[in-house]
Structure 1
Amino acid sequence: MREVIVQVVAEERTARRAYELICDFRRYPELTDKVNEVVVHPPEADGSVRSDWTVVFRNGLMRWSELDRFVPETLTVEFEQLKGDFEVFRGSWVCEEREEEGTVVTVVTFRSDFDLGIPSLAELLDPVAESTLRDNILRILEGLMGRVTLMAPMDLTVSRHG
């Protein structure tokens, strides 16, 4: 299992507005060439939503369906793949306001665990998938938020096995 974290300061957004933009999956294809299509299905009784994704991934496309849980009280979106090209793909988006050097800033954190499900090629494919996922998320955040500043180096990736 691999973990990818992308954390940015959204310079032009409040935490509440950042959360609202992240929740609007239908707009993602308009904002970045990395997302081809997102189909959002009607909400379930508990407020969760199923969404179907087609995303540019290196020289091909990745497709999956995920269950999305929105938690407006904590400005969090949790997601977990139901079926698709990953063996495992789950994670969260969290928007929060922090005080840094006397100024309140909006920090957006994307965190995911994934497993491509190809153990024999994991050593070769996982680093490429990590890099591509980080790049895609950063492009999505730039499209959604406007100007963003990366808080940690792009290679801040924690690798785990399990």
Structure 2
Amino acid sequence: MAKLIGRDFSRVLTTARGTVGYLAPEWISGVAITTKVDVYGYGMVLMEIISGRPNSLEQYTADGDCDVFFPVHAAHMLVEGDVASLVDDKLLGDVNMEEAERLCKVACWCIQDDEFDRPTMGEVVRTLEGLSDLDMPPIPRLLQAITRRSLHPPSTYSYLYNESE
């Protein structure tokens, strides 16, 4: 998207187009669009690469229970230090957990609610190459709010949400 807009515009207003799970909050709020929307979409793709599963709002387990929106679940597991539970089972024997944690951190920073909190793609590349490091990212508030509204019943996943935060 950023390449289509061109270098002459640092911000532009346009009509939203794309797959819902990959659209940055700016598309919905109607604020000017910057290259940080691409960073958001890249973060969502990283989530799928790590987990081997799509990032839809609601997923259902084999027994019919509603599963948590993966990016929010991933952010919680990253904070708890349980990156292994996020990695696609097909990769578990061949994955370097330090690299998996780095991928998760980058992905979580990329999907921050506020575009100013997201890294640039240059920072993303440097971090993925191991040339720089990122602190632990906060869990995006917008994604938590979306997830809370979509879960049925809400108490099923109360372990993921600390209401005192």
TM-score, shorter chain, exceeding 0.5: no
Structure with larger Rg = 2
Q: Considering fraction of residues, name the structure with more strand.
A: 1
Taking structure 2 as the reference length, the TM-score comes to 0.31
| Structure with greater helix percent | 2
Compare relative contact order (CA 8 Å, sep 6+) and give the higher one, 1 or 2.
Answer: 1
